[in-house]
Amino acid sequence: MKFKRIAGLVCAASISVLSASGAFSQEKTVKIGAVLPLSGSAASAGAHTKAAIEVAVDIINNAHPEFGNFPLAKNAGLAGLGGAKVEVVFGDNQGSPAAGQNQTLRLITEEKVVAVTGAYQSGVTLTASAIAEKYGIPFVNGESVAANLTERGFKWFFRTTPIASDIARIDYDFLTDMKASGVKSNSIAIVHDTTEYGVSVANVIASTFKEKGQPIGLDIAYTTNATDVQGQVLQLKEKKPDVVIMIAYTSDAILYQKTMQALDYKPPMIIADDSGYSDPSMIKAVGKISQGVLNRSSWSIGPAGSPTALIAEMYKKKTGDDMDDTTGRAMQAFFVLCDAIDRAGSTEPAKIQTALKATDLKPDQLMMGYKGVKFDEKGQNVLASSLIIQLQDGENYVAVWPKGNSQKAPALPYKGW
C-alpha cells in the first residue's frame, strides 16, 4: 500500500517534470497581425488573402525542401530565431477605415503582435498603418496602391507592390506600343470609384498621361457598391472613347460588365486596374461576357515544380480557386516581412525595422514577378513591376505585354461576349 503510494507520487512527479521540461523546450512563436476585410463588401478578397497567408505560414513553419532556395521554406520555422514558429492573428477590418484602426490597435496592444500586414483597401491601410506608426510596430503592405501611403514620412511603413505611378507608366507604355502597331488610342476615359484607391489611381494616371501629352478626355467618378451603373455606361456609349480604363472593386466591376452587355456597349479597349477585375469570383461571375479585358498583374504561375507553381497548387487545394494577382501581392508582402524577422533574429520591432530597411531580395527569391524587393527611404519597393494580361477566353488571364515576357499577343479590339 505504502509502496503503491510512493510509486504513484514518483510517477506524478516525473510526469510534471517531463511536462515542465516540455514547456521549456517548446519553441518560441512569433506573433504577426493581419488586418483584412473578412466581412463587408470586400470579404471575398479578404478571405482569399487569409487563405494565402495560411499557405505561407505552412511553407514557413514546416520543412518544404521541394521549394529549393525559396526563402524560409527549407527548414521548419524561422532559422534566425532557432526555428521559432510563425503565428498569425487575424483582425477583421470590415472594409472600413475606422474598424481597420481599431483592429490594428487591438492586435498591437492586446495580442502583442511584433508586426502587422494588411489591410487590402488603400483607405483602410491609411488608418491602420497610422496606428502601427504611433506604436512603433512595422507595417508591411503588399496590395494597396494609393500613391500617398508612402508619402507620409512614416518610418514603420513598408510597401512591396507597384503603386499608382508604376501603373500609370505601364498603362502609358502599353498604349504607346499599341499605337505604334496601329491601334487607335486617341481618346481615353477613366471610370473610377471615389474611394482612396479609386481617386488616387485615377489622379495619378490622369496627370501622368497629361504630362506625356495624352490628356484624359472623360472622367467618370461613381460611389462604390453602386445599385445601378446604367447612367455611366450610357455616358461612355455616347462619347465613344477608344480606351476605357476601369478602376473598380469586385461588386462594381461585376455590375459594369453586366450593364455593358445589357446595353450592348463594347469599347474598342478596356484596361482594368487589378482589384475587382482580378478577383477570381468576378471572373467566374462575368468572365464570359468580359472576354478581352486587359489588366495588370505581377503574378505568373511559372513552370511545373517551381516555387510559384507549388504555391499555386497549395493555394488551389486549400481554396478551390486559382491564385490571383491581388492575393499573390499580399502573400508576397507577408513573406518579405517574415524574411526580415528571420534576418533580424529577434522579435524586437526596432530590429525588424532595421532588417526591413536592409531587405534586398532577388527575383528568384520572390513569388511575384518583381525585379526584386528593395525599399527606398519612404518604404516603397523600388523594384516592383507589372505585366499587362488579358482575359482572352473569359476564364484565364494570359500575359500579353511586354513582348519578352508574354505568352500571347494582345487580341484587339475588345470582344466582350
Interface contacts to another protein, rule CB under 8 A: 39-41, 43-44, 46-47, 194, 220-223, 225-232, 234-235, 237-238, 250-251, 254-255, 258, 261-264, 279-282, 284-286, 289, 417
> What residues pair up with 245 in beta bridges, in sequence order?
190, 271
Taking the complex as a whole, the smallest distance from the CB of residue 231 to another protein amounts, in Å, to: 3
- Judged by CB, which is closer to another protein: 47, or 115? 47
- Judged by CB, which is closer to another protein: 235, or 354? 235
- Judged by CB, which is closer to another protein: 96, or 385? 96
Burial class from Cβ neighbours inside 10 Å (0-12, 13-18, 19+) for residue 204 reads buried
Our CA angle for 293, 296, 300, nearest 5°, is: 105
Taking the complex as a whole, the smallest distance from the CB of residue 197 to another protein amounts, in Å, to: 15
Taking the complex as a whole, the smallest distance from the CB of residue 286 to another protein amounts, in Å, to: 6
- Judged by CB, which is closer to another protein: 330, or 368? 330
Give the CA diameter of the chain.
99
Taking the complex as a whole, the smallest distance from the CB of residue 135 to another protein amounts, in Å, to: 30
Taking the complex as a whole, the smallest distance from the CB of residue 254 to another protein amounts, in Å, to: 4
Taking the complex as a whole, the smallest distance from the CB of residue 236 to another protein amounts, in Å, to: 11
Helices 97-109 and 122-135, interaxial angle, to 10°?
A: 30
β-sheet with 294-297: strand ranges across: 218-222, 188-193, 243-247, 269-272, 294-297, 387-390, 398-401
* Spatial distance between the Cα atoms of 368 and 385, rounded to a whole number of angstroms: 9
> What residues pair up with 88 in beta bridges, in sequence order?
32
- Judged by CB, which is closer to another protein: 46, or 77? 46
* Spatial distance between the Cα atoms of 277 and 290, rounded to a whole number of angstroms: 10
- Judged by CB, which is closer to another protein: 40, or 372? 40
Burial class from Cβ neighbours inside 10 Å (0-12, 13-18, 19+) for residue 285 reads middle
